[in-house]
């Protein structure tokens, strides 16, 4: 009896470690090496402790069906708890993987039960239980290549389970499929009827179709995600192309105006010199130098594109008689694409200038604050606007009449790309945009 208990305890401990190994395969690619070593260290320690616990239980209760089923039905709980502690914040994934491994183990149990019923019907209860337990280990060893392939590719992306409540339904479905058979199996009967044994043969079919359903559903989910990302990328490319064309046109207009101004300046200087009006020529040169100083790009930031956008639009606001207050605190580099930030600022400031322009001359104003704390960037743009601010369902202005409608595509694209947050408000004749996004400066 002592030898029977020893081999039975060894078999139960090994099959529970094998079941833990299958669940580990589903998470292995998501774990660090140190986490894997720590996990299996805890599994091994609990395996040694549980071996002693099972030995004591079988010694007290005997090698009987009740004790055997208690070990099989409850022994997985500590392993699952250890695993969930090692790989946290993935409850749905753990429930799903445990359900799938439980189905697989129950299939092995059913095959083993049929074999012992065919060949050991007249044997002692302890012999039947011992052979049955080691058949588990045999099936695990023989099917290991298939098991590794199935469980290593079992889990889809975490986003699949984040779709609530569908993700929860998918996670608990394997256990729901298994529960009916599990309840029927939870007794102290050694020999069940052949009808019950044969009904368990449906489990592989259920397992197969359920597994196929999960793969197909995941495939459709990812196809939809890829289509959405492709659509967003196309929208951004079209928007960037429009912005590029607009900037090119503005640059071309600026160059034409500059060439015209230079030509007029040279002609006037030439005329003054020809007429001998040297003093007037010098005064004209000083006037032109002042105009050049007014067009110098101001050092708002060390980021050239961002600095150019701020300089152009804030100077444009001042030329229109709009009072400007600004405070810019940006690092030398951003995680966000500098071009994205420059386009965003250009559109938002352009909207603010247009809105302020509609106000009386003595009531025009723009306030700009950009702060970066090394981990995230906060942007606040306020402009005078006394008409009611109309917000859409997404919380942003939906009409260009508010002064913020133009450029909202840029804002939404930026928020989606960098997982940002924005809120518009209006108080005392001021419209304010407050937004932030995570940005680890380098």
Q: 238-294: per-residue pLDDT in tens?
A: 555 565 566 566 656 665 766 666 677 767 777 777 777 777 777 777 776 666 554
| Number of Cα atoms under 13 Å in the Cβ half of residue 264 | 7
> Is the same domain home to 254 and 344?
no
> Is the same domain home to 311 and 279?
no
CA 179 to chain centre: 33
What total number of domains does the chain contain? 3
> Is the same domain home to 304 and 184?
no
> Is the same domain home to 254 and 157?
no
Give me the pLDDT at residue 47, please. Answer: 93
393 in a structural domain: yes
Note the helical H segments in 120-201. Answer: 125-142, 144-152, 158-162, 166-185, 194-199
Q: 124-147: per-residue pLDDT in tens?
A: 888 888 998 999 889 899 999 988
Least Cα distance to 437 among 381, 366, 370, 368 occurs for 370
Q: 15-30: per-residue pLDDT in tens?
A: 999 999 999 998 988 8
In terms of average pLDDT, the best of 188-192, 257-261, 413-417 is 413-417
**Last residue of some domain: 184, 200, 216?**
200
> Is the same domain home to 280 and 310?
no
Helix axis angle, 91-119 to 2-27, nearest 10°: 140
Range of the domain at 19: 2-200
> Is the same domain home to 310 and 433?
yes
pLDDT at residue 337 tops 90: no
> Is the same domain home to 249 and 303?
no
180 in a structural domain: yes
CB-based contacts of 301: which residues, under 8 Å, 6+ apart? 307, 310, 328, 330
Give me the pLDDT at residue 227, please. Answer: 65
- Adjacent-strand bridge partners of 328: 370
311 in a structural domain: yes
Mean pLDDT of 349-364: 87
**CA distance linking residue 295 with residue 288, whole number of Å:** 11
Are the C-beta atoms of 300 and 326 separated by less than 8 Å? yes
> Is the same domain home to 281 and 175?
no
SS3 72: helix
CATH of the domain at 401: 3.30.565.10
Mean pLDDT of 353-360: 87
Give me the pLDDT at residue 403, please. Answer: 41
Q: Which residue has the higher pLDDT, 58 or 283?
A: 58
> Is the same domain home to 40 and 86?
yes
pLDDT at residue 405 tops 50: no
> Is the same domain home to 287 and 329?
no
Structure tokens, 276: 């001998």
User: How many Cβ atoms sit within 10 Å of the Cβ of residue 200?
Assistant: 19
In terms of average pLDDT, the best of 11-15, 63-67, 275-279 is 11-15
What's the whole-number average pLDDT of the chain?
80
By percentage, how much of the chain surpasses pLDDT 90?
A: 17
> Is the same domain home to 272 and 348?
no
439 in a structural domain: yes
**Last residue of some domain: 296, 330, 351?**
296
222 in a structural domain: no
Are the C-beta atoms of 329 and 377 separated by less than 8 Å? no
**Last residue of some domain: 258, 278, 296?**
296
**CA distance linking residue 397 with residue 142, whole number of Å:** 64
């Amino acid at each position: 009896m002592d030898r029977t208990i020893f081999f039975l305890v060894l078999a139960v401990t090994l099959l529970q470690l094998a079941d833990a190994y299958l669940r580990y395969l589903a998470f292995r690619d998501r774990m660090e090496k140190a986490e894997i070593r720590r996990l299996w260290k805890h599994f091994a320690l609990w395996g040694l402790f549980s071996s002693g616990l099972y030995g004591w239980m079988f010694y007290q209760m005997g090698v009987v069906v009740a004790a055997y089923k208690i070990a099989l039905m409850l022994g997985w709980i500590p392993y699952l708890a250890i695993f969930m502690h090692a790989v946290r914040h993935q409850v749905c994934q753990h429930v799903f993987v445990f359900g799938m491994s439980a189905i697989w183990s129950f299939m092995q149990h059913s095959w083993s039960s049929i074999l012992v019923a065919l060949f050991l019907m007249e044997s002692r209860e302890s012999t039947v239980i011992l052979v049955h337990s080691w058949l588990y280990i045999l099936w695990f060893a023989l099917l290991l290549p298939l098991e590794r392939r199935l469980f290593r590719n079992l889990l889809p992306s975490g986003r699949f389970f984040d779709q609530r409540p569908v993700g929860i339904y998918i996670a608990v479905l394997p256990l729901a499929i298994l529960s009916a058979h599990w309840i029927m199996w939870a007794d102290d009967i050694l020999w069940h009827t052949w009808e019950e044994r044969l009904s368990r043969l449906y489990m592989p079919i259920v397992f197969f179709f359920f597994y196929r359903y999960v793969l197909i559903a995941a495939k459709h989910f990812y196809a939809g995600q890829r289509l959405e990302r492709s659509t967003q990328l196309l929208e951004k490319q079209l928007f960037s192309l429009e912005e590029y064309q607009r900037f090119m046109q503005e640059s071309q207009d600026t160059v034409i105006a500059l060439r015209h101004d230079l030509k007029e300046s040279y002609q006037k200087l030439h005329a003054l010199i020809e007429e001998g009006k040297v003093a007037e020529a010098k005064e004209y040169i000083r006037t032109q130098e002042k105009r050049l100083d007014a067009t110098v790009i101001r050092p708002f930031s060390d980021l050239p594109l961002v600095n150019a956008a701020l300089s152009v639009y804030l100077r444009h606001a001042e030329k229109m008689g709009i009072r400007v207050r600004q405070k810019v605190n940006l690092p030398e580099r951003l995680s966000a694409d500098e071009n994205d930030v420059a386009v965003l600022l250009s559109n938002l400031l352009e909207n603010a200038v247009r809105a302020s322009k509609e106000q009386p001359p003595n009531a025009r104003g723009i306030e700009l604050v950009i702060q970066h704390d090394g981990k995230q960037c906060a942007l606040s743009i306020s402009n005078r606007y006394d008409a009611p601010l109309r917000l859409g369902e997404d919380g942003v202005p939906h009409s260009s009449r508010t002064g913020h409608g133009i450029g909202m595509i840029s804002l939404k694209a930026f928020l989606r790309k960098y997982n940002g947050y924005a809120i518009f408000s209006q108080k005392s004749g001021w419209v304010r945009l407050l937004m932030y996004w995570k940005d680890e400066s380098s």
